[in-house]
């Protein structure tokens, strides 16, 4: 990789991507600086992606440190329309908590590696789905051989939610054994290799669930001042058990009330009102892009 000082002196020497907009801050500042920029890229559908590295320019003209560059990043994994036979005719939703949305997402900070290096600000994502060396027990719904990775297995479970899939086990392939994706129902128990009274070795397994997936919210809107009951339907809602799987706080859920024209501190101020269901993982990780 070319040192950043070379790129500053001669931009043509580096294969950089630059946004077309002139006012693109990583954060919303005013009307001329909107939400964070993003880059979409695709890999072969059977690729087992283990890591994604982002290199950002930390210096500007003359080698002066840049005032703004992305320090908080989110990486989403999903499927391309037309690439998933199980989603034929389905529109992809830009949401990590809807069935037809992102498979998984990861967050990290640019300072996690100790600041800029000679090549610029290097940010690494470890793109794993599920927990390694862990066995989830649940009712077996189906199993599929030859699934490329745990993330593919998770997407297969999400696609099978209507068939009752809520969790998965993935047996990593070996030179003599094909990888197998086991689709399961609700989690009955969770065991890590060598934990407690178990002397079993689960090092060849990765387990997880679909994550929080919302299916419906009723009513969709209410008249301010009128009493109402809110019903949220979905799978893998926050539970005490999900603390282990997703690293969340115990069973807590939060709903924000939204006025037409934007949020008003969680309450309605005239007009009709709708809701936002906030996934626990998103409360701090990505407050700028909360999904309805």
pTM for the complete prediction?
0.78
Check: CB of residue 64 under 8 Å from CB of residue 57.
Answer: no
Check: CB of residue 257 under 8 Å from CB of residue 266.
Answer: yes
Please compute the mean of the pLDDT values over residues 169-181 and round it to a whole number.
94
What are the helix and strand counts (H, E) for the chain? 4, 16
Pairing of strands 273-278, 254-259: antiparallel
221, two tokens: 């809107």
Q: How many other CB atoms are there within 10 angstroms of residue 118's CB atom?
A: 11
Distance CA 193, CA 203 (A): 7
Please compute the mean of the pLDDT values over residues 173-201 and round it to a whole number.
81
Q: Find the range with the poorest average confidence among 142-156, 160-174, 185-199.
A: 185-199
* CB-side neighbour CA atoms (13 Å) of 60: 6
180, two tokens: 């197998």
What percent of the chain has a predicted confidence (pLDDT) above 70? 68
- Looking at the predicted structure, is the pLDDT value of residue 271 above 90? no
Q: What is the mean pLDDT of the chain?
A: 77
Burial 126-154, CB ≥16 within 10 A → b, else e:
ebbbbbbbbbbebeebeeeeebbbbbbbb
The conformation of residue 65, written as its DSSP 8-state character, comes to B
Which pLDDT score, from 0 to 100, does residue 263 have? 43
- Which residue stretches of 140-247 are H helix? 150-159, 242-246
Check: CB of residue 126 under 8 Å from CB of residue 106.
Answer: yes
Q: Where are the domains of the chain?
A: 1-127, 131-209, 214-289
220, two tokens: 């969709």
Q: Higher pLDDT residue, 112 or 186? A: 186
Q: Which option is the CATH number for 131-209: 3.50.4.10, 3.90.1260.10, 2.40.50.140, 3.10.20.740?
A: 3.50.4.10
90, two tokens: 């389905």
Distance CA 222, CA 127 (A): 40
166 CB burial (10 A radius; 0-12, 13-18, 19+): buried
Please compute the mean of the pLDDT values over residues 244-258 and round it to a whole number.
62
201, two tokens: 């070795």
Q: How confident is the model at residue 279 (pLDDT cuts 50, 70, 90)?
A: very low
CA 101 to chain centre: 10
- Looking at the predicted structure, is the pLDDT value of residue 150 above 60? yes
Which pLDDT score, from 0 to 100, does residue 290 have? 30
- Which residue stretches of 87-219 are H helix? 150-159
Which pLDDT score, from 0 to 100, does residue 160 have? 95
- Looking at the predicted structure, is the pLDDT value of residue 181 above 90? yes
- Looking at the predicted structure, is the pLDDT value of residue 37 above 90? no
Query: pLDDT (tens digit, 9 = 90+) per residue, 188-237?
Result: 888 876 555 556 778 889 999 999 898 888 888 777 778 888 888 889 88
- Looking at the predicted structure, is the pLDDT value of residue 7 above 80? no
């Amino acid at each position: 990789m070319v040192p950043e000082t070379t790129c500053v002196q001669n931009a043509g020497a580096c294969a950089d991507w630059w946004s077309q907009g002139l006012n693109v801050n990583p954060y919303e500042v005013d009307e001329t600086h909107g939400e964070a920029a993003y880059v979409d890229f695709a890999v072969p559908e059977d690729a087992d992606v283990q890591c994604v590295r982002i290199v950002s320019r930390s210096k500007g003209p003359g080698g002066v440190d840049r005032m703004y560059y992305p320090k908080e990043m989110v990486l989403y994994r999903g499927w391309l329309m037309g690439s998933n036979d199980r989603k034929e005719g389905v529109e992809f939703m830009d949401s990590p908590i809807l069935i037809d949305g992102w498979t998984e997402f990861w967050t990290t900070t640019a300072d996690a590696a100790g600041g800029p290096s000679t090549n610029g600000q290097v940010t690494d994502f470890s793109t794993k789905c599920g927990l390694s060396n862990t066995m989830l027990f649940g009712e077996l719904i189906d199993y599929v051989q030859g699934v490329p990775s745990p993330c593919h297995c998770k997407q297969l479970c999400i696609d099978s939610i209507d068939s009752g899939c809520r969790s998965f086990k993935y047996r990593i392939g070996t030179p003599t054994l094909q990888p197998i994706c086991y689709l399961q129902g609700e989690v009955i128990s969770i065991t890590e290799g060598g934990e407690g009274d178990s002397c079993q070795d689960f090092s060849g397994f990765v387990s997880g669930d679909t994550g929080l997936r919302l299916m419906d919210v009723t009513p969709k809107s209410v008249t301010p001042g009128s009493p109402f009951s809110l019903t949220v339907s979905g799978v893998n809602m926050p539970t005490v058990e999900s603390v282990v799987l997703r690293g969340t706080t115990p069973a807590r859920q939060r709903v924000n009330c939204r006025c037409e024209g934007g949020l008003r501190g969680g309450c309605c101020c005239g007009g009709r009102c709708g809701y936002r269901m906030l996934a626990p993982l998103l409360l701090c990780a990505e407050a700028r892009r909360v999904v309805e």
